[in-house]
Amino acid sequence: MTLNFSEKDTALGIETRTETTTIAARCFALVPCAGSGSRAGTLKPKQYELIGGKSMVMHTLAALGAVERLQHVVVVVSPDDAHAWPDAPEWPSHFRRMACGGATRAESVFNGLTALLKEGEHNPAAVQAHDWILVHDAARCLVTELEINRLIDACLDDEVGGLLALPLPDTLKTAVHGRVSQTLPRQDKWLAQTPQMFRAGQLHAALQAKAKENFEGVTDEASAMEMAGFAPKLVVGSPHNFKVTYPSDFALAEDLLGSRK
């Protein structure tokens, strides 16, 4: 895993590889876990609801914990939820929480990444700007080690990074007042999932550029990177890696997790 720096000869307008420095980039994970989950209809934030006897986020963390290439996994929780984690003692030693969640998902990711990169200023073992950060929703508890490794394999040598996503299987409609106004071509449409894997410094800069506008339009990390001019790579995920969002999703998640045992 290397990063090659080259110098640009602006007078000639050509790129010349006058000097090449090799820096090993490592993989870290950041899990936004600070949402209220209002669409789920649960009393507490959905990521803490039990699925098959274990809180949803613990299923998510079990998948991340199985990926050997992840150096550290940081879970960004809301400052209000810092105490609300009954099964935290089960955590692997390279996991920890940061109670710096924000008002939106993008803000939670930005706050977590800002804190991580600040730590890296004084500690070379902590996240550096050239390291990869995999951002994964706490609410996607069905992701597998295999899918995460597929993303890492596909992106490690990529200039930009990318995300798990699914080609749209169904016909896509737009609606006005509950009636179809148009059928859209689906050939080039994908459903974005997580993890999304980018260089920590580039992702932080892309989010920072949108911070003043309250992260308007930033619905995932890839959208921030796109606004910064990058074209993230699409890596085929799985239909099972859905985000638990609505009340009926809990039973489906429980069935699928149960069927894996």
Q: In the complex, which residues of this chain contact ligand C5P (CB under 6 A)?
A: 32-35, 37, 47, 76, 101-105, 108, 137-139, 243, 245
First vs last C-alpha separation in the chain: 34
For the CB of residue 209, give the shortest distance to ligand C5P in the complex, in Å.
19
Q: In terms of CB distance, is 117 or 139 closer to ligand C5P? A: 139
For the CB of residue 58, give the shortest distance to ligand C5P in the complex, in Å.
13
Supply the DSSP symbol for 89: G
For the CB of residue 105, give the shortest distance to ligand C5P in the complex, in Å.
4
Q: In terms of CB distance, is 249 or 254 closer to ligand C5P? A: 249
Q: In terms of CB distance, is 87 or 158 closer to ligand C5P? A: 87
CB-based burial label for 43 (10 Å; 0-12, 13-18, 19+) = exposed
Q: In terms of CB distance, is 128 or 141 closer to ligand C5P? A: 141
Q: Which residue is nearest to ligand C5P (CB)?
A: 35
Length of the chain: 261
Instruction: With beta carbons less than 8 A apart as the criterion, state whether 99 and 77 touch.
Output: yes
For the CB of residue 103, give the shortest distance to ligand C5P in the complex, in Å.
6
Instruction: With beta carbons less than 8 A apart as the criterion, state whether 94 and 72 touch.
Output: yes
| CA–CA separation, 191 and 228 (whole Å) | 20
Place of tokens 């099964």: 87
For the CB of residue 99, give the shortest distance to ligand C5P in the complex, in Å.
11
Q: In terms of CB distance, is 5 or 246 closer to ligand C5P? A: 246
Taking the CB of residue 88, how many other CB atoms lie within 10 A of it? 16
